[in-house]
Chain A
Amino acid sequence: MRKLFIATLGCYLLFACTQPLHLQRHEGGLESLQKVSPDPQAEAMIAPYKKEIDAKMKEPLGNAATDMPKVRGELETLLGNFVADLVLEITRQRLPEQAVDACLLNSGGLRASIAKGPVLLEDVFSLMPFDNLVVLVRLSEKDMMRLFDYLADHPGTPISGIRMEIEDGNPDDMEIAGIDWEDDKEARRPCWIVTSDFLAGGGDHMNFLTEPLERIETGWLLRDVIAAYIREKNKQGLAVESTLDGRMRYDID
């Protein structure tokens, strides 16, 4: 179908009031529709890089049992729960002595949806293009409170190992690692949180992560952890999945 382009012809009139400039916007027509083929020299430069990328990115990792769309404005998402849960699970597997309590990520860092069906390495690159590293931080009780406050202010932040309500913009009924944080003040203790180096550096204004009691650099790329998890499930003959389980809820009393 041929389509004609309609130029939006705006009218501007502007007289400079100081000297020496007399800048005026001027009428200009629509540039004519032109055929441009890709520049052969540029294409030749790209070709060897593209070949390497394509070979690598088409690696099949496994399958997704459901669509996990990137959505905004929800308290929890299939995509956020999927990534936060797997990062917590893999970290516990790899560092069993560390007793990691929860995982905290940022929704802005998950850049693309996972579609039901085969998952290729390129899908994981789209999801997590940044070379963020997995970092563990041990937070004081005070910084844990700041974390809960942040979650109440930023619904949709991907978490795992934490359950809570939001009541009038404040955190309520918080639970972490079996601790009833809200009511059992005696049981409160510093917690180990697995997150990304971006956030641990105060990214997305998570300032409560920047001065932890202890910090461990795993050196693992977050993206590699996601890819490894999907490969591992596939080896077991399983598709990856995700559920919404009410880990973040509004108080509806």
Chain B
Amino acid sequence: MNRKEFLRVSALLGIGMSGGAAHAQSLFGAQKSKRLVVLHTNDMHSHIEPFPDDDPKYPGQGGMAKRAALIKQIRAEGHPVLLVDAGDVFQGTPYFNLFKGALEFKLMSEMGYDAATLGNHDFDNGVEGLAEMLPLAKFPFVNSNYALENTPIHKEIKPHLILKKGGLKVGIYGLGVDLNGLVSSALTGEVRYLDPVVAANRTARFLRNEAGCDLVLCLSHLGFEYKTKKISDLSLAASLNHTDIILGGHTHTFLHKPVLTKDATGRPLVIGQTGWAGIHLGRIDLFFSPENQLLDTKTSMYEISKKTIPG
């Protein structure tokens, strides 16, 4: 068959507008705003390679080498990029069973990830198994609601991060799901789950008020939404203060558009999640005033897929 295959990268998402075109033009004029591009993934579940072409659901989609190329292309636009992951890097293909997450972390390092949080499956080889792999990750992990003091990952997992990007101070914290019933206690050892709402507000307040961060970002593995009262990104958002964006995971929710909601004080808060297996790459462009006030967001979603066209 004479067929050409190429990667289809499509933005699935258009974005709302407000304020009229003229206003927008002035806001987005080169001199008037600073831009930060946030790229995010979650629940990649060891999907190093694309899905097989005969996969009933995701034929030819995903693949870390293509994501790496896409990220390079986005970096080449010249804006500062913040690349983050919301957990469950591990488990789901034989790459994890055989190599225990080594290649996942190496590739993420190569792509230049800035931060990640922990998902429940990242404990699937035990907290010791995770500790063994962490040196291969050349980027920091952040979690703010697991008590880790008696575990071998105590030093590697940061309660919060402050990163400088393009003249902006970005504060990042991370929230993990209750591991009880998800991961056997033999694997989690002495990791203890603490109330995510308390941890989130305490950390966000510190990042905003004491550390003076211009943007406060939550990496969450709580899950987007539940029918029960279980804490989720949506229910969490309504209890938050000082958090601008939640980038989530765990429920494998394909949010083609990040959800715009309000925090406890009525301020806008954006929640994103990109499904799973590295099929999508989420993108949020943040526009700041010269005084580092967040003014606007523009969100888009890339689909990493293979399209076959007649040659």
| B256: A residues at CB distance < 8 A | 8
How many residue pairs link A and B with beta carbons under 8 A? The number is: 204
SS class, residues of chain A in contact with chain B: loop
| B91: A residues at CB distance < 8 A | 129-130
Closest to A207 in B: B181
| CB contact between B266 and one of A18, A35, A38, A198 (< 8 Å): that residue | A18
Which of A22-30, A136-144, A159-167, A177-185 participates in binding chain B? A22-30
Whole-angstrom distance between the alpha carbons of A26 and B199 in the complex?
A: 31
Q: Does A56 contact B (CB under 8 A)?
A: yes
Q: Are B97 and A129 in contact (CB under 8 A)?
A: yes
Whole-angstrom distance between the alpha carbons of A129 and B103 in the complex?
A: 17
Contact residues, B258-311 vs A (CB, 8 A):
260, 265-268, 285, 287, 293-300, 302, 307, 309-310
Q: Does A118 contact B (CB under 8 A)?
A: no
Whole-angstrom distance between the alpha carbons of A43 and B48 in the complex?
A: 10
Q: Are A26 and B296 in contact (CB under 8 A)?
A: yes
Whole-angstrom distance between the alpha carbons of A17 and B12 in the complex?
A: 30
| CB contact between A31 and one of B49, B68, B184, B302 (< 8 Å): that residue | B302
Map CB proximity to B onto A175-212 as digits: 1 under 8 Å, 0 otherwise: 00000000000000000000001101111110000000
Q: Are A8 and B12 in contact (CB under 8 A)?
A: yes
We find that the number of chain A residues with CB closer than 8 angstroms to chain B is 58
| B9: A residues at CB distance < 8 A | 31, 33-36
Q: Are B48 and A30 in contact (CB under 8 A)?
A: no
Known contacts A18-B266, A202-B181, A202-B185, A10 near B110 by CB under 8 Å? no
Closest to B111 in A: A42
Q: Does B257 contact A (CB under 8 A)?
A: yes
Known contacts A25-B15, A42-B110, A50-B49, A35 near B6 by CB under 8 Å? yes
Q: Does A131 contact B (CB under 8 A)?
A: yes
Closest to B109 in A: A45
| CB contact between B17 and one of A7, A26, A198 (< 8 Å): that residue | A26
Contact residues, B184-206 vs A (CB, 8 A):
184-186
Q: Are B296 and A25 in contact (CB under 8 A)?
A: yes
Q: Does B13 contact A (CB under 8 A)?
A: yes
Pick the most buried of B21, B49, B97: most chain A CB atoms within 10 A of its CB: B97
Q: Does B79 contact A (CB under 8 A)?
A: no
| CB contact between A22 and one of B7, B17, B295 (< 8 Å): that residue | B295
Q: Are A29 and B267 in contact (CB under 8 A)?
A: no
| CB contact between A26 and one of B68, B186, B267, B298 (< 8 Å): that residue | B298
Q: Are A201 and B260 in contact (CB under 8 A)?
A: no
Q: Does A93 contact B (CB under 8 A)?
A: no
| B294: A residues at CB distance < 8 A | 21, 23
Which of B69-77, B168-176, B224-232 participates in binding chain A? B69-77
Whole-angstrom distance between the alpha carbons of A27 and B96 in the complex?
A: 40
Contact residues, B15-30 vs A (CB, 8 A):
15-19, 21, 24, 27-28
| B14: A residues at CB distance < 8 A | 7-10, 27-30
We find that the number of chain B residues with CB closer than 8 angstroms to chain A is 74
Whole-angstrom distance between the alpha carbons of A44 and B66 in the complex?
A: 12
Closest to A57 in B: B94
Known contacts A16-B267, A16-B268, A22-B293, A36 near B16 by CB under 8 Å? no
Closest to A196 in B: B184
| B266: A residues at CB distance < 8 A | 17-18
Map CB proximity to B onto A1-13 as digits: 1 under 8 Å, 0 otherwise: 1110101111111
Q: Does B152 contact A (CB under 8 A)?
A: no
Whole-angstrom distance between the alpha carbons of A5 and B307 in the complex?
A: 12
Closest Cβ–Cβ distance, residue B17 to chain A (whole Å)? 3
Whole-angstrom distance between the alpha carbons of A36 and B107 in the complex?
A: 17
Q: Does B254 contact A (CB under 8 A)?
A: no
| B63: A residues at CB distance < 8 A | 38
Contact residues, B88-143 vs A (CB, 8 A):
91-99, 103, 106-107, 110-111, 124-125
Known contacts A38-B65, A39-B65, A201-B186, A28 near B300 by CB under 8 Å? yes
| A18: B residues at CB distance < 8 A | 265-267
Whole-angstrom distance between the alpha carbons of A156 and B36 in the complex?
A: 48
| B182: A residues at CB distance < 8 A | 203
Known contacts A42-B68, A202-B185, A26 near B124 by CB under 8 Å? no
Q: What are 28 A-B pairs at a CB distance below 8 A?
A: A2-B309, A5-B10, A5-B12, A7-B11, A7-B12, A7-B14, A8-B256, A10-B257, A12-B15, A12-B18, A17-B267, A18-B265, A21-B293, A25-B16, A25-B299, A26-B16, A26-B28, A26-B298, A27-B24, A30-B11, A31-B9, A33-B10, A34-B9, A38-B63, A45-B110, A46-B49, A202-B181, A203-B181
* Further 20 A-B residue pairs, CB within 8 A, beyond A23-B295, A28-B298, A36-B66: A3-B307, A11-B18, A14-B18, A16-B268, A26-B17, A27-B21, A28-B13, A28-B14, A29-B14, A35-B6, A36-B6, A38-B7, A42-B111, A46-B49, A49-B95, A50-B48, A129-B97, A131-B124, A201-B185, A203-B181
Give me the interface of A with B, judged by CB distance under 8 Å: 1-3, 5, 7-14, 16-18, 20-31, 33-39, 41-43, 45-46, 49-50, 52-53, 56-57, 122, 125, 129-131, 197-198, 200-205
